[in-house]
């Protein structure tokens, strides 16, 4: 088959598929199947003639609107109970330091601060990483705060696998002390 014939057949196939998708999208679920009727696509709507009744016209009584009673506003303001302030005990802030984690490119040691059950701060005590790997620590701290745990998705990072693993190990050690 010639190249021009292949292109033409491809275009025709594409038009057929597109038309099929459009017809399928416009079809109603109850239009097809056993006992169902197939949709018709005529441009003008058809109307069936209606019969006009013959004989003597009947009159129906007219209904007069009734007045609804209106309520007068009260002159006394109603008291709304004011809620009593609840006394909350401030959550205590606790910090724990991880053991140093020695790995191929340096040492990682950090301090995790929690208020209640929320990680509020992570401070790098030792952030040794050679070859520019220390640039991963701010990103790792942000991910750990968002995840509120020592396990979080690092699939968007590349080139800092050992540093990431050391950070997660140190973070897990600090969190295990809570």
pLDDT confidence bin for 141, thresholds 50/70/90 = very high
- Considering only residues 101 and 82, tell me which one the structure prediction assigns the higher pLDDT: 101
Domains of the chain: 93-175 (3.90.1010.20)
Sign of CA dihedral 157, 160, 165, 166: negative
Give 34's Cβ-side CA count (13 Å radius).
0
- Res 55 pLDDT > 60: no
3-state SS, one letter per residue, for the chain: CCHHHHHHHHHHHHHHHHHHHHHHHHCCHHHCCCCCCCCCCCCCCCCCCCCCCCCCCCCCCCCCCCCCCCCCCCCCCCCCCCCCCCCCCCCCEEEEECCCEEECCEEEEEEEEEECCEEEEEEEEEECCCCCHHHHHHHHHHHHHHHCCCCCCCCCCCCCHHHHHHHHHHHHHHHCCC
User: Percent of the chain, pLDDT > 90?
Assistant: 35
Q: What is the mean pLDDT of the segment spanning 83-111?
A: 83
Q: What is the mean pLDDT of the segment spanning 91-105?
A: 93
pLDDT confidence bin for 80, thresholds 50/70/90 = low
pLDDT at 77: 56
pLDDT at 2: 73
Say if pTM beats, i.e. exceeds, 0.75.
Answer: no
Q: What is the mean pLDDT of the segment spanning 10-24?
A: 60
pLDDT confidence bin for 169, thresholds 50/70/90 = very high
pLDDT confidence bin for 155, thresholds 50/70/90 = confident
């Amino acid at each position: 088959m010639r190249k021009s014939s292949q292109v033409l057949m491809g275009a025709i196939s594409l038009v057929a598929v597109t038309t099929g998708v459009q017809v399928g999208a416009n079809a109603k679920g109850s239009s097809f199947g056993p006992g169902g009727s197939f949709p018709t696509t005529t441009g003008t709507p058809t109307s069936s003639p209606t019969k006009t009744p013959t004989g003597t016209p009947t009159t129906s009584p007219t209904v007069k609107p009734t007045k609804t009673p209106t309520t007068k506003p009260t002159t006394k303001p109603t008291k709304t109970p004011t809620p009593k302030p609840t006394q909350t005990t401030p959550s205590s802030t606790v910090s724990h330091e991880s053991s140093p984690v020695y790995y191929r490119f340096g040492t990682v040691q950090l301090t995790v601060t929690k208020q209640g059950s929320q990680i509020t701060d992570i401070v790098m005590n030792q952030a040794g990483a050679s070859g520019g790997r220390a640039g991963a620590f701010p990103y790792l701290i942000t991910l750990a705060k968002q995840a509120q745990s020592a396990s979080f998705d690092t699939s968007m990072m590349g080139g800092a696998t050992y540093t990431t693993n050391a950070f997660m190990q140190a973070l897990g050690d600090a969190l295990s002390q809570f």
